[in-house]
Structure 1
């Protein structure tokens, strides 16, 4: 029997069994309960996400945290449009993500074999994001101390930091230990962007700075009055999952 046939048979058996169980259940209850005039759920029954505090580090060591804060501040530097990546909390966002299910890849299939993937498939290795950061940051520190007169990333000036990050992105840095500098750069850049644009409840996008910059309304529940107003800037400020402030409604 082919795989498709086996799947069809299994699915048919499941549906048949489910139907039989439903008939038995209905037959045992002469009077069916109908819901009328009340909601089948209770408002506010679900626990809201717990906001992440901006203080302290959960995953990063102090040295790692300092390096990541310096890196995200060069990837998103302060300018006339917004604050920089450090002040926006991008490093805090990354720290909390690495300490959770993302960092341990607990929601991904992580069994072998591990084979090189296509460029469109992304990272296919066995290392979790947490391990990649820990090994990658150590490799960056060792490389710079060897090539920059004992200085770490945080001790480089802004131009030197930019040149190093550009070299990483272009694959012109040999970090050793089988670490691909370009992939490591892409990982940090992607997480930095996520932290900058994610809901503030996750630690980044402090005070919804990026949403205000691009005019994104956030987690507002009702847009009916704006549906027909195409190509017009939304007049109200953004709202986080955790709620907003009175001044944001004006």
Structure 2
């Protein structure tokens, strides 16, 4: 289980909620508002791929295994759903195909190569036990902060973005934050659009 002293992985359980809330706040607001139309375009392919178990389009099987394993250690399933349940690996595969993350294909391949190199062995990073994966992520954060930052960004976005946009399957990211979907994400919102929201608008 992740330790609070490991900066690369989320603490648990109450501290983990605070960590995730902070991450959601950092990625919320202007950045997500600006990029939601792009993320929405990715939603259908990511949801279908995850639901039907389709082959990855951009990620190789080994890359997908590493991304899934690493994201699951950044936001683990330690009593509450994590990145694996949110379908982060499918979101990443969809996001690398087009849009804001499309130019990061080589960087993601670099993350995988570095993690596998640090892990050693034929199985690479994905074959390590969880404590070994945590140590390797911590080393990545110290030695290659840019690559770790990209992995963390993709993990957090894939976990918390609205399920309509391909990630956060089953709204598990929102569950971690104690968030309840209530509509009114885009203006107008307030007392003057109460009837619109109560009728299901903004969802």
- TM-score, normalised relative to structure 2: 0.63
The answer to which structure, 1 or 2, has the higher relative contact order (CA under 8 A, 6+ apart) is 2
Cα contact 2:81–2:176 (8 A) shared by 1? no
1:64 matched to 2:63: yes
1:212 matched to 2:187: no
1:162 matched to 2:125: no
Give the Cα separation in 2 of the matches to 1:196 and 1:131: 22
Shift of 1:240: 11
Q: Which is greater in Rg?
A: 1
1:201 matched to 2:164: yes
Paired residue total: 149
RMSD: 2.9
Give the Cα separation in 2 of the matches to 1:186 and 1:79: 22
- TM-score, normalised relative to structure 1: 0.52
Give the Cα separation in 2 of the matches to 1:137 and 1:101: 21
Larger helix percent: 2
SS at match of 1:86: helix
**Hey, which bits of structure 1, 4+ residues long, moved more than 6 A?**
none
Structure 1 residue aligned with 2:75: 76
Evaluate the alpha carbon distance shift between residue 170 and residue 143 of structure 1 in structure 2; reply closer, same or farther with a 3 A threshold. Answer: closer
Shift of 1:87: 1.5
Evaluate the alpha carbon distance shift between residue 130 and residue 197 of structure 1 in structure 2; reply closer, same or farther with a 3 A threshold. Answer: same
CA offsets 1:13-44 (integer angstroms, 9 cap, x no match): xxxxxxxxxxxxxxxxxxxxxxxxxxxxxxxx
CA offsets 1:51-78 (integer angstroms, 9 cap, x no match): 3321321211111101111001111111
Give the Cα separation in 1 of the matches to 2:201 and 2:170: 9
- Aligned ranges 1:173-212 → 2 under 5 Å: 181-212=144-175
Cα contact 2:116–2:124 (8 A) shared by 1? yes
Give the Cα separation in 1 of the matches to 2:171 and 2:98: 23
Shift of 1:182: 1.5
Give the Cα separation in 1 of the matches to 2:89 and 2:66: 9
Cα contact 1:144–1:150 (8 A) shared by 2? no
